[in-house]
Amino acid sequence: MTTRTSESEPGRGGRGPLHYDTERFVEAADGTRLFVGTLAGPEESELLPAVLCDGIGCDGFVWAYLAHHLARTRRVIHLHYRGHGRSGPPLDRSQLTIRGLARDLHVALDALAVDRALLLGHSMGTQVELEAHRARPERVRGMVLLCGSWGRVTHTFHGHDALSQVLPTVREVVQNHPSLARALWGRVPPRLAFRLAKLSGEVDPAMLRSEDFHRYWQHISDMEPEVFLQLLHAAGDHSAEDHLPAVDAPSLVISAENDTFSPPELGRAMAERIPGGELFEIRGGSHAAPVEQPMAVQLRVDKFLLDHSL
């Protein structure tokens, strides 16, 4: 039986937005300013740095617990995607793709002089880390893929392709009426959005804290709508399925039983296709499982890191 973790329990340590020890900006190939925040970790640690790859429209809300947990033993690096969080708007919109985000990630790691790293991705971030591995496999020494898949996400949302069919029309409306779209985009109050998410079953109403959801929703509201929609389209068109058999780094796939964005059968298939891939399914969890059941995620990630000496 799953019980709710209270604020004072270990899994809820580091509540709230990420608090970085160092912050800097690096310049992408097209000149876009990319924000990189770092949690320092212990000075004496020789463990691989952990690099966090967000889902679309996110600037770290899903890492609120896991990042601070990892920082107890190692450095943690968090890049805000172009057009997200504190990074600048994309100067070259053609780079707003999964492979473009993976290139940005490598630019950031080059700037930080990181030769080897552990990658952790949530949702669309699993696609980004797979492309980062494809581009520079020698740099990626381990991967944790949370509540995501290899791609084609708009074709698997809720188990069908309805989102992929309606998305072009939504983008056309936003492009033709940008001012109206921007005005409406941020009008839904966080409390109402949270209530709707609970009622629709998109999140676990018994486990997700309202303040965690509010941080996510506030960032979505602050984004440029077309950036979000273009990247959603890119994530829907992208697939790294062909690369799965070539993954040579230890990989842990974490899926959630009630995830409607990345159904758990996709996690099972991904773990089977990655050589030596491991699978952990969170009972009762939704797409927001890392903030709903942080202790379960932390314990399984810790075991994975220990088993593979990462």
Domains and CATH numbers, the chain: 10-307 (3.40.50.1820)
pLDDT band at 47 (very low <50, low <70, confident <90, very high): very high
Please tell me the predicted confidence (pLDDT) of residue 19: 87
76 three-class SS: strand
Higher-scoring residue by pLDDT: 131, 186: 131
Is there a contact between 144 and 63 (Cβ–Cβ < 8 Å)? no
Mean pLDDT within 253-271: 95
Give me the mean pLDDT over the 273-293 stretch: 95
Q: What percent of the chain stands above pLDDT 90?
A: 65
Q: Span 71-99, mean pLDDT?
A: 96
Kindly report which listed range (61-65, 72-76, 275-279) carries the lowest average pLDDT score: 61-65
For 171-188, how does the pLDDT look when each residue is reduced to its tens digit (9 = 90+)? Answer: 676 677 677 666 666 666
> Using DSSP, how many helices (H) and how many strands (E) does the chain show?
11, 8
pLDDT confidence bin for 198, thresholds 50/70/90: low
CA neighbor of 298 nearest in space, from 3, 56, 68: 68
Q: Is 85 left (phi over 0), alpha (psi -120 to 50) or beta?
A: left
- Residue 5 confidence (pLDDT): 31
Reading phi first (left if > 0) and then psi (alpha if -120 to 50, else beta), residue 113 is in: left
Phi, psi of 288, rounded to the nearest 5 degrees: -95, 25
> Of the given ranges (11-20, 62-71, 74-83, 243-252), which has the lowest mean pLDDT?
11-20
The whole-angstrom separation of Cα 279 and Cα 267 is 7
Residues paired with residue 192 on neighbouring β-strands, in sequence order:
none
User: Average pLDDT for residues 108-121, to the nearest whole number?
Assistant: 98
The mean predicted confidence, pLDDT, of the chain is 86
Residue 157 has pLDDT above 80, yes or no: no
Q: Of residues 143 and 193, which shows the higher confidence score?
A: 143
